[in-house]
Amino acid sequence: MDIKEQRIRSITNIYYANPQVQKALLDFAKDREVVPRYFEGFGKRPDTIQYPTDINGLVKKGATSFHASEEIWNDPLSLSSEIQQHEMNELRKGWDLLIDIDSKYFDVSRILTLLILDALEKHGVKNYGIKFSGGKGMHIIVSSKAFPQVYDGKEKNESFPAWPRAVCEYLMHYVKRDFNRKISELFGNAEVEKKMDPKSAIKEALCPNCGKEAKKGNLINLTCPLCKTTIQRKNMKITKKRLKCIQDDCAGIFEIENEGEYFECENCGISNINKQETSGRYSATFTQSAKEESFSEELKEEYSGANFGSSDLVLVAPRHLFRMPYSLHEKTSLSSVVLLKEEIENFKFSDADPFKLKIRNFMPDNIENEALELLRKSLEWKQETKKEETRELDKKYSEMSKTFEEMKDVPEGAFPQSIKKLLAGGLTDGKKRGLFVLLTFLRSLNFPPDYINKTTRTWNEKNKPPLKEGYVRSQIDWILKQKKKILPPNYSNDNFYRDLGLIDKMPQAKNPLVEVGRNLRKLKGVI
């Protein structure tokens, strides 16, 4: 037993025996699926708690924390992994919006939490619950009551997880510029940057008009030494070849005056390129479009906040669980305490001492339809974003299909190490994510249904414990029905490869399929 486990087990009996803690847990547990965690692993599902004796009994069996669903059920004990979607919709009587804010740096979580709360308020949501996760994050909750029962012809209970996902994504988009700015202020110190994870230190420039990432380029300023005509060229390759002055009556040759970076939004034309001013008789720009460009002083490169902390959309999934208010955290032995907005700025970990608590209600008393405006804007934004993503994906798939359409009968020896490691099995956590990676990978390489079925089931048998048969079957059926191939996630998505232990360091490829192509070329070279 390591030191963390010793520490939390030394206090669980005393802590969870506190009547106030028990009441907080039981009040929040009403009509929710509740599952205990026994330090490393979770207890059986479905389960719930209704009485103090339920808590005492589970703690005596070794429970260290309690986790609940964001969904509210008519009968949580009727849930099953074999249950069909329509049956789940019938059982679900509501859901809360749960925003999980997490980062390896608590100060980042603090910043993002305050930005999200401000965004909620600007969209008419004045009531919300806030709690410390117990680790390095925060949880924000808006009750089911705040969302309409029906919107745009769709029932609320049948719109999970689509509605809360859209809201979470929209809120992150809404605060992105301010988040980047504040993160840049926090980590702008050179000494701090040296200590940072290089992967986290990604920078980007966001368009002040549309909020999309601006494209980075190289800007060359050239001047004619004879007539002083000045021009600008974007992304010009510097070669030995000289450029003649654009003035008909001048025999001069342009010289490079200076060069630097620029940012330009391809969506709306916003640029940070400065207009040229010369004292000479002539002045010119390279193209007419350059004269007509919009210029912005706001377009500058800053740290990407998304690489430091984000809203965890994994939580916005059917039957997913999150740590209950006043539950302990296994790594820190701190309590998931409920906070007020004004306490966040000065919150310290010592304020979550399990034996120095002020018990508060986590669930806010929302006004009916309080989040209607937030939902409307989120869904409208999501719809527009989806259109753009569809256009981009269509282009992406058309390009990728040329590369992978002819890949048939790929030998397993050409599989990348990440997939080989996945196929070795033995996953204890993240099995559903592993299944998604495996199915999209096999399907993208045109393996026949019988091979996909056999390989997937063989893989699942190695997991501890295996996924339910009904779930595996439904996922296989789903991937085979897709008209368009769904590519496996890129390696940059930590929720899959790194978190599942499939890679230790970033491979020299964006996607497992790219590695397959390289490996096939190597094999052909050997043959």
Q: Following DSSP, what letter does each residue of 163-231 receive, concatenated?
A: HHHHHHHHHHHHHHHHHHHHHHHHS-SHHHHHHS-TTT--EE-B-TTT-PBPEEEEEEEEE-TTT--EE
Residue 147 has pLDDT above 60, yes or no: yes
**Computed over its alpha carbons, how large is the radius of gyration of the chain?**
28
Residues 419 and 494 in one domain: yes
pLDDT > 70 fraction of the chain, expressed in percent and rounded: 87
68 versus 425: the higher-pLDDT residue is 68
- Determine how β-strand 302-303 pairs with β-strand 150-151: unpaired
pTM value? Answer: 0.69
- Residue 68's nearest CA partner among 14, 17, 30 is 30
Strands 270-271 and 294-295 turn out to be: parallel
- Does residue 174 belong to any structural domain of this protein? yes
Q: Which amino acid is at 345?
A: E
List CB contacts of 465: < 8 A, sequence separation 6 or more.
none
Structure tokens at 4: 């963390």
d(CA 87, CA 18): 38
- Indicate if 90 and 228 belong to the same structural domain: no
Q: Is 84 exposed, middle or buried, given 0-12, 13-18 or 19+ CB atoms closer than 10 A?
A: exposed
Whether residues 268 and 321 fall in one domain: no
Q: What is the pLDDT of residues 356-380, one digit of tens each?
A: 999 999 999 999 999 999 999 999 9
Instruction: Determine, yes or no, domain membership for 282.
Output: yes
pLDDT digits (tens, 9 = 90+) for 386-438: 887 666 655 554 554 455 555 667 888 889 999 999 998 888 888 999 999 99
Is residue 348 domain-shared with residue 456, that is, in the same domain? no
Residue 226 CB neighbour total at 10 angstroms: 13
Collect contacts of 395-400 with beta carbons under 8 A, ≥24 apart.
397/484, 397/485, 397/487, 400/487, 400/513
pLDDT score recorded for residue 341? 98
Beta bridge partners of 34: 68
Interatomic CA distance for residues 19 and 28, integer angstroms: 14
Lowest mean pLDDT among 75-79, 173-177, 240-244: 240-244
For the chain, how many structural domains are there in total? 3
- Find the DSSP H helices in 202-340: 288-291
Measure Cα distances from 195 to 250, 304, 306, 436 in Å. Answer: 54, 17, 18, 35
CATH for 144: 3.90.920.10
Higher-scoring residue by pLDDT: 262, 277 = 262
Q: Which amino acid is at 205?
A: A
Q: What residues form DSSP beta bridges with 220?
A: 233, 259
Residue 204 is assigned to a structural domain of this protein: no
State yes or no: cis peptide before 148, omega within 30 of 0. no
Residue 238 to residue 236: CA distance in whole angstroms:
6
Whether 192 has a pLDDT exceeding 60, the answer reads: no
Q: Are residues 72 and 160 in the same domain?
A: yes
The residues pairing with 328 across neighbouring beta strands, listed in sequence order, are: 335
More confident residue, 274 or 96: 96
pLDDT of 116 above 90? yes
Q: What is the pLDDT at residue 224?
A: 92
- pLDDT recorded at residue 504: 81
pLDDT of 465: 87
* Together in a domain, 508 and 412: yes
14 plus 157 within the same structural domain: yes
Give yes or no for residue 452 having a pLDDT over 50.
Answer: yes
In a domain, 122, yes or no: yes
pLDDT of 212 higher than 50:
yes
C-alpha pair distances (Å), 494 with each of 389, 446, 467, 506, 512: 21, 26, 22, 10, 14
Could you tell me if residue 393 is inside a domain?
A: no
Region of 108 on the Ramachandran plot (φ > 0 left; ψ -120 to 50 alpha; else beta): alpha
- Residue 259: what residue type? E
Output the average pLDDT for the chain.
86
Q: How confident is the model at residue 120 (pLDDT cuts 50, 70, 90)?
A: very high
Residue that is last in its domain, among 252, 273, 300? 300
449-461 vs 431-444: helix crossing angle, rounded to 10: 160
Which of 249, 269, 300 terminates a domain? The answer is 300
- SS3 call for 368: coil
User: pLDDT tens for residues 298-349?
Assistant: 777 777 777 777 766 556 778 889 999 999 999 999 999 999 999 999 999 9
CA atoms within 13 A on the CB side of 284: 16
pLDDT confidence tier of residue 507, bands split at 50, 70 and 90: confident
Q: pLDDT confidence of 503, banded at 50, 70, 90?
A: confident
Average pLDDT over residues 449-457: 91
Residue 198 domain flag: no
Residues contacting residue 432 through CB under 8 Å, at least 6 positions apart: 467, 471
Q: How far is CA 149 from CA 17, 53, 94, 314, in A?
A: 38, 35, 9, 24
* Whether residues 35 and 132 fall in one domain: yes
Per-residue pLDDT at 297 exceeds 80: no
Clarify whether residues 169 and 263 are in a common domain: no
Between CA 19 and CA 21, with CA 20 as vertex, the angle to 5 degrees is: 90
Collapsed DSSP state (helix, strand, coil) of residue 256: strand
Least confident of 113-117, 246-250, 321-325: 246-250
User: Which pLDDT does position 279 carry in this prediction?
Assistant: 35
> Residue 15: is its pLDDT beyond 80?
yes
pLDDT band for position 235 (cuts 50, 70, 90): confident
- Both 296 and 317 in one domain: the answer is no
Determine, yes or no, domain membership for 429.
yes
- Is the predicted pLDDT of residue 283 greater than 60, yes or no? no
In the structure, how many helices (H) and strands (E) does the chain have?
16, 20
Domain of 496 in residue numbering reads as: 405-526
- Identify whether residues 169 and 21 lie together within a single domain: yes
Same structural domain, 423 and 466? yes
By C-alpha distance, which of 315, 374, 314 is closest to 173? 374
Q: Where a domain ends, among 246, 270, 300?
A: 300
CB of 77 closer than 8 Å to CB of 48: yes
| Residue 237 or residue 398, greater confidence | 237
Terminal CA-to-CA distance of the chain, rounded, Å?
52
Residue ranges of alpha helices (H) inside 19-145 are: 19-29, 52-60, 85-91, 106-122
Say if 201 falls within a structural domain: no
Q: CA 15 to CA 4: how far, in whole Å?
A: 16
What local confidence, expressed as pLDDT, does residue 426 receive?
A: 82
The predicted pLDDT at position 117 comes to: 98
- Beta strands 97-103 and 138-142 are antiparallel
Residue 392: per-residue pLDDT: 64
Residue 88 pLDDT exceeds 70: yes
